[in-house]
Amino acid sequence: MELLTAGLNHTTADVALRERVSLTGAALDAALRELRQQPGVQEVAVLSTCNRTEIYCLAEGTSPDLAGWLARHQQLPDASLRRAMYQYRNQDALRHMMRVAGGLDSLVLGEPQILGQMRDAYSHANDSGVLGARLARYFQQVFAVAKRIRTDTGIGTHPVSVAYAAVSFARHIFADLSTSRALLIGAGEMVTLVARHLKEQQVAELVVANRTLARGQVLAEEIGGRAITLEELPGALEHADIIISCTASPVPVLGKGVVERALKKRRHRPMFMVDIAVPRDIEPEVGKLGDVYLYTVDDLHEAIESNVRQRRDAAREAEKLIDEALLRHERESRELDAVDTVKAYREKMQLHAGAELQRALRQLEAGQDPAEVMQRFQQSLINKILHAPSVQLRRLAAEKREDALRIAREILLDDAVSEDTPARQPEE
């Protein structure tokens, strides 16, 4: 049985191609069923996110053409899709799965969402009946390593996105964000990301100020906040502990005077402000006011660069954890290879023992002496057990295969003999 991983991601395919191979909902269910019917495929799962679509499967006999199947299924040109796809086998496939789940293969190094997405892929395949026990064990190994990566390396503890860094800075000023009120100026992509992070922190109130009220209301509804226009900013500032701004305005939307008046009404309770916009939304002079902590996008990028370096250090530790896990897996796999041999040998010995037992029972039924019957049973069974090993040992000795003889001694006598151990002398 062979473990295969095939797919494409943000490093091999642009967003237009990734969109065309994306598999979700009913399309994913149909794809899983169809994949399971491909020649050689025994078990299968599919991970599909905005940054990657990957197929994980166990194959036996015929090696499936996963790239060709995906091209046909998604009605894409075969050649162009193959150029964007990668494929790994066995240990390399397992390593790739571990790197993906650990966030080492993500667009943002160490991002945590991918582990949950991989768990969802596992559950979906299991619920669809296309995931068997063996592929499930691979996934469990992957999840265990990913958990160790997150807990032992701290790869996800250092924010590396502007939006997340802004919220992290706020936590340094306000220990408990759940008692703080946030004012977001703008409703674009960056502010949306900040808003989602703040919602996760359970901020007490979220207000979205935007030039177009309707667009601000869309974001406000998503995060459970309320929307206002830019004209209402002075009143909103009085109640805001956290202000994060990112608009496309060519001139500042917050000046020193309006912030100064808000501070007086707040009785100089501190205000944390982040200006992510370029050109800036908040006049630089605001940062000179007492009780105002003002950060620009440059301040965030400086922190992010430091955090990226720390994540890279953590990623190197994570790679070592994966190497250790793969070594354990390889050893366990080799140990499992012996199971079939042990099973076959046990069955063979049971046949011999069964035959000798039946013979002994017939002799007892015939009235023969029980002690003699049992002695013959013992001797005959020993002879049967030792016959094949004895023949092979004599052959190995005749061929001077000393290493094989040492291994045989370890197996038969549980007696490892080193090369430095003197040979036993025959008794006189």
d(C-alpha 69, C-alpha 85), whole Å: 12
Helix (H, G, I), strand (E, B) or coil at 290: coil
| pLDDT at position 407 over 90 | no
Instruction: Provide the whole-model pTM.
Output: 0.61
Q: What is the pLDDT of residue 86?
A: 97
For residue 72 the two structure tokens come to 């046909």
Tell which phi-psi region holds residue 90, choosing left (phi > 0), alpha (psi between -120 and 50) or beta.
left
Residue 309 burial by CB count (10 A; 0-12/13-18/19+): exposed, middle or buried? exposed
**pLDDT confidence bin for 130, thresholds 50/70/90:** very high
Tell me which of 1, 27, 30, 50 is the catalytic residue.
50
Indicate if the pLDDT at residue 424 is higher than 50: no
Please, what is the Cα angle at 227 between 222 and 228, to 5 degrees?
165
| pLDDT, tens only, 327-349 | 998 888 777 777 778 888 888 88
Query: Which domains are seen in the chain, by residue range?
Result: 2-152 (3.30.460.30), 162-304 (3.40.50.720), 340-413 (no CATH)
Per cent of the chain over pLDDT 90 is: 61
Summarize the confidence of residues 251-271 as an average pLDDT.
93
| Cβ(7)–Cβ(85) below 8 Å | yes
Pairwise CA distance, residues 5 & 416, whole Å: 40
Q: Is 50 a catalytic residue?
A: yes
Average pLDDT (129-152) is: 95
Where would I find the beta strands (DSSP E) of 192-321?
Answer: 205-210, 226-229, 242-245, 271-275, 292-296
Q: What is the pLDDT of residues 37-94, one digit of tens each?
A: 999 999 999 999 888 999 999 999 888 999 999 999 999 999 999 999 999 999 999 9
